[in-house]
Amino acid sequence: MGLEKNRQYGDSTVSVHGGEAHHKALDSITDPVVMASTYTFSDTQSVIDYIEENQQRGEYGRYGNPNEAVVESKLAQLEAGEDAVLYSSGMAAIVGVIMAKLSAGDEVVFFDECYHRSREFCSKHMSRFGVVTRQVEACNYDAMEAAITPNTKLLVSESPTNPHLSVVDLDRFAAIGKRNNVETLIDATLATPYNCRPLIHGVDYVLHSATKYLAGHNDLLAGVIIGDRVKLEDIRYLRGILGSINSAHNCYLLQRGLKTFDVRMARHNANGQAVAEFLEQHPRVEKVYYPGLASHKYHDIARAQMSGFGGLITFEVQDADWRQTADIVDRCRIPKIGPSLGGVESLIEQPMVMSYYELPATERASYGIKDNMIRMAIGIEDTQDLIDDLDQALKG
Ligand SMILES: Cc1ncc(COP(=O)(O)O)c(C=O)c1O
Report pLDDT digits (tens) over 116-155: 899 889 999 999 999 999 999 999 999 999 999 999 999 9
Tell which atom from ligand 1 comes closest to the C-alpha of 223: 10
CA distance 310 to 350: 19
**175 and 310 share a domain?**
no
Domain-terminating residue out of 241, 259, 277: 259
From ligand 1's centre to the CA of 274, what distance in Å? 25
6 lies in a domain? no
Helix/strand/coil for 156: strand
Position 386 pLDDT exceeds 70: yes
**134 and 233 share a domain?**
yes
pTM over 0.85: yes
**166 and 299 share a domain?**
no
Strand order in the sheet with 373-377: 285-289, 312-317, 373-377, 347-349, 336-337
Q: Is 384 exposed, middle or buried (0-12, 13-18, 19+ CB in 10 A)?
A: exposed
**361 and 213 share a domain?**
no
CA distance 205 to 166: 19
- Does the beta carbon of 355 lie inside 6 Å of ligand 1? no
Mean of pLDDT values over 163-188: 98
Chain-centroid distance, C-alpha 261 = 14
CA distance 132 to 134: 7
5 lies in a domain? no
Tell me how many helices (H) and strands (E) the chain has: 16, 12
Position 2 pLDDT exceeds 80: no
Tell me the β-bridge partners of 223.
87, 209
- Does the beta carbon of 221 lie inside 6 Å of ligand 1? yes
Q: What is the CATH classification number for the domain harbouring 173?
A: 3.40.640.10
Average pLDDT of the chain, as a whole number: 96
Task: Name which residue sits closest to atom 7 of ligand 1, judged by CA.
Answer: 90
Quick one: which H or E segment has residue 275? helix 261-280
**302 and 312 share a domain?**
yes
**31 and 103 share a domain?**
yes
Domain-terminating residue out of 259, 286, 311: 259
**89 and 177 share a domain?**
yes
pLDDT at 8: 86
CA distance 300 to 322: 32
Domain count, the chain: 2
Chain-centroid distance, C-alpha 44 = 42
4 lies in a domain? no
**171 and 303 share a domain?**
no
**322 and 371 share a domain?**
yes
Domain-terminating residue out of 209, 224, 259: 259
Mean of pLDDT values over 36-58: 96
pLDDT at 114: 83
Position 83 pLDDT exceeds 70: yes
Q: What is the CATH classification number for the domain harbouring 267?
A: 3.90.1150.10
Position 305 pLDDT exceeds 90: yes
In this prediction, residue 1 has a pLDDT band, given cuts at 50, 70 and 90, of: low
User: Ligand 1: which of 86, 117, 312 to mutate, most ligand atoms within 8 Å of CB?
Assistant: 117
**64 and 199 share a domain?**
yes
Residue 299 belongs to domain spanning: 261-395
**78 and 186 share a domain?**
yes
In this prediction, residue 299 has a pLDDT band, given cuts at 50, 70 and 90, of: very high
322 lies in a domain? yes
Position 42 pLDDT exceeds 90: yes
**205 and 104 share a domain?**
yes
Summarize pLDDT for 342-362 with one digit per residue, the tens: 999 999 999 999 988 989 999
pLDDT at 191: 98
